[in-house]
Amino acid sequence: MEQRRLGANGPEVGAIGYGAMSFSDMYGPTNETESHAILNACRDLGVTHLDTANVYGMGKSESAIGTYLKANPGARDEFVIATKATITKDADGNRSFDNSAEHLEAELDKSLQRLGLECVDLFYAHRRDPRFTPEETAANLGRLVEKGKARAIGLSEIAPSTLRRAMKVFPVAAVQSEYSLSTRAPDLGLVQACAELGVAMVAFSPVGRSLLTDHPIPRERIADLPFLSTNPRFMEPNLTENLRIMEGFRKLAAEMGTTAAGLANAWLLTRGPHVIPIPGTRSVEHLRECISGAALTLTAADLERIEAVLPVGWAHGDRYSDAQGIGPERYC
């Protein structure tokens, strides 16, 4: 697989990584055996960047990676592992964020224990805590690099202005944001700022939480998934419209001899050599579909055809509900 660098001075990783939120039960029940099968497939396919977080299944995702690494000692050297912290709850049980040095270190210590590691390759602030300036958050993360608990720092769901301010205090290796053919807000400054500053742009949900695939999550399952059942793009009448529009994209992918997921990831790889999609799935077969995008070379004519069937702003409904949208910085 093509290699891309995770930050200006970071390690090279496969152009497409893996988002391990799917090791939790976010999109349906899973277990350690299935998660380990995905990690075996990642090694076979050249997927070397694993992305997880402390809140994915409240430690379940990190623990699955940790038990795999323990059972396969040589695998640690094959993977570049990132995790995140910041999302927590206040005294009343409401979702909140904490970018304090104490919280970040305490949560990273727990993550390291679950992963069975002394150091992660990349540690993100999962959301920006408005009580702290970008400079303060960068400094708090940077201290963990200085302590040897992380090799690099990242920021998630932030504005370009936040990145620029943070970079003045400590080098940021990666910015993570939802980015796909159905969510293109990062094109309005974030992708460009990352390129300018030598920061990797890690694109999560690159297949639109299954919309940009040949097998979207069935309607009957959506009702059982708390996140999707309240997500505007998966609620009626938006869902019917989105599925209707996606028929054209699936047809185009078939005409081009690939899958919709493969084409969606291939499109992201054309957005810049610093863009690294991290699709997540509970299925080895679906993982292969996503990774197939790394082998595609899209021409200008191909991109025009994609744009014709999925023009900017085609999706019906916002990417998040009001409750889900608390935390990500809006900058456009």
> Which pLDDT value is given to residue 187?
97
Output the pTM of the full model. 0.95
Inside any domain, residue 190 = yes
Q: Is 215 exposed, middle or buried (0-12, 13-18, 19+ CB in 10 A)?
A: middle
> How open is the CA angle 256-40-263, to the nearest 5 degrees?
15
The tens digit of pLDDT for each residue in 103-158 reads: 999 999 999 999 999 999 999 999 999 999 999 999 999 999 999 999 999 999 99
If one counts the domains in the chain, the total is 1
93 pLDDT above the threshold of 90: no
DSSP letter for 75, please: G
Q: Which residues are catalytic?
A: 56
29 pLDDT above the threshold of 90: no
Query: Are 83 and 111 within 8 A, CB to CB?
Result: yes
92 pLDDT above the threshold of 90: no
> Which pLDDT value is given to residue 253?
97
Instruction: Check residue 5 and give left, alpha or beta (phi > 0: left; psi -120 to 50: alpha).
Output: beta
> Which pLDDT value is given to residue 126?
96
β-pair type (49-51, 18-19): parallel
Task: Report the run of H or E that residue 85 belongs to, with start and end.
Answer: strand 80-85
30 pLDDT above the threshold of 90: no
Domain that holds residue 47: 3-209+261-297
Find tokens 């939120």 and name the residue.
Answer: 21
Inside any domain, residue 330 = no
Inside any domain, residue 9 = yes
> Which pLDDT value is given to residue 316?
97
Q: In CATH, what number is assigned to the domain containing residue 277?
A: 3.20.20.100
Region 30-54 average pLDDT: 96
Question: Measured between alpha carbons, how far is 101 from 19 in angstroms, rounded to an integer?
Answer: 26
> Which pLDDT value is given to residue 94?
86
b/e code 266-286 from CB counts within 10 Å (16+ = b): bbbbbbeebbbbbbbbbbeeb
Inside any domain, residue 253 = no
> In the structure encoding, which two tokens stand for residue 141, read together?
């993360």
Inside any domain, residue 325 = no
Handedness of CA 222, 224, 225, 229 (dihedral sign): positive
Query: Are 49 and 204 within 8 A, CB to CB?
Result: no
Handedness of CA 318, 153, 188, 279 (dihedral sign): negative
> Which pLDDT value is given to residue 132?
97
Inside any domain, residue 322 = no
> Which pLDDT value is given to residue 255?
96
Helices (H), the chain: 32-45, 60-71, 101-115, 134-146, 160-167, 190-197, 219-222, 226-229, 238-255, 260-269, 284-291, 300-309
Query: Are 240 and 233 within 8 A, CB to CB?
Result: no
DSSP letter for 94, please: -
The tens digit of pLDDT for each residue in 161-183 reads: 999 999 999 999 999 999 999 99
Inside any domain, residue 106 = yes
Inside any domain, residue 315 = no
Instruction: Please provide residue 165's backbone torsions phi and psi, each rounded to the nearest 5 degrees.
Output: -70, -40
